[in-house]
Amino acid sequence: MKKILVLGTMFLVAICANAQFMRAEELEKYSKEKYGDKWVEAAQNLKSQLTLDKNNSLTYSQVIDCGEKTKDELYIILNLWFTMSFNDANSVIKLNDKQAGTIIGQGFVESIASHVGGLTAYDISIKPIIKVDIKDKKIRVTYTIQYYDATLVKGGGFLGSRNSATQVEEKWPIEQCFPFVDKDKHKKTSSKALVMSHAYSNVIMDKIEEAVKNGVTGNETNDW
């Protein structure tokens, strides 16, 4: 009995590891492979492909064909995927409505871009909203980022005590950052944040498509 419990625990850990999203360092490697490591140039190249929505948010939408799976079957798969993927204080499920066929989660990727120089250092994270609308045979995934979350540390000097520094939390509207505006004093950081955010949308779409087509654990069938 103990052996079964141990194996079960290990199995659940393995599932959760597979369902988790990329860490920032993994996402950076993925981004460089797809778009190169010249962040400003990559961001400029991506600009022509991107459109801000009516709220000036960066939004992507994709309809995924799911074969013959019913709305109820897709809901069960996606509910499992969201439950396993959005399971901490930073990544949470905001809405889960089976009747409406809608699940909304808020993801979190810490430190996708940073800068250290002079008397100010800052670190950028993102909290994308992932919404899935479910129908028979298909789903629609919408990925939205409203702003970059910036943590700024001001003061303290090059060799000064950290205790003398001040930490400030800011939200940087995407429409006010490069490449959507040319004059951005955080240009390099904004560029990397955009490329990483765009790459992360690809990761999200791919993971959800994999889940609805092949299952989260690989054994979601009625043959048991």
User: DSSP labels for 99-150?
Assistant: TTTEEEEE--EEEEEEEEETTEEEEEEE--EEEEEEETTEEEEEEEE-EEEE
Q: What local confidence, expressed as pLDDT, does residue 87 receive? A: 82
- Cβ atoms < 10 Å from Cβ of 195: 28
SS3 for 156?
A: coil
Residue 82 near residue 96, CB atoms below 8 Å: yes
Mean pLDDT (the chain) is 87
State the pTM of this model: 0.84
Least confident of 1-10, 97-106, 183-192, 202-211: 1-10
pLDDT average, residue stretch 78-96? 91
126 CB-contact burial (10 Å; exposed 0-12 / middle 13-18 / buried 19+): buried
Radius of gyration of the chain (CA): 20
On the question of pLDDT at 221 being above 90, the answer is no
Per residue in 11-41, pLDDT (tens digit) is: 333 333 344 456 889 999 999 999 999 999 9
Tell me what percent of the residues of the chain surpass a pLDDT of 90: 72
Q: What residues are paired with 141 via a beta bridge? A: 62, 132
Q: What local confidence, expressed as pLDDT, does residue 116 receive? A: 87
| For residue 173, cis peptide bond before it (omega within 30 degrees of 0) | no
Give the up-direction half-sphere exposure of residue 97: CA atoms within 13 A in the CB hemisphere.
11
Please state the domain extents for the chain: 23-214
Kindly indicate the confidence band of residue 163, based on its pLDDT and cuts at 50, 70 and 90: low
On the question of pLDDT at 8 being above 70, the answer is no
Q: What CATH number should be reported for the domain whose range is 23-214?
A: 3.30.530.80
Tell me what percent of the residues of the chain surpass a pLDDT of 70: 83
- Phi and psi for 90 in degrees, rounded to 5? -100, -30
pLDDT average, residue stretch 135-156? 93
On the question of pLDDT at 176 being above 80, the answer is yes
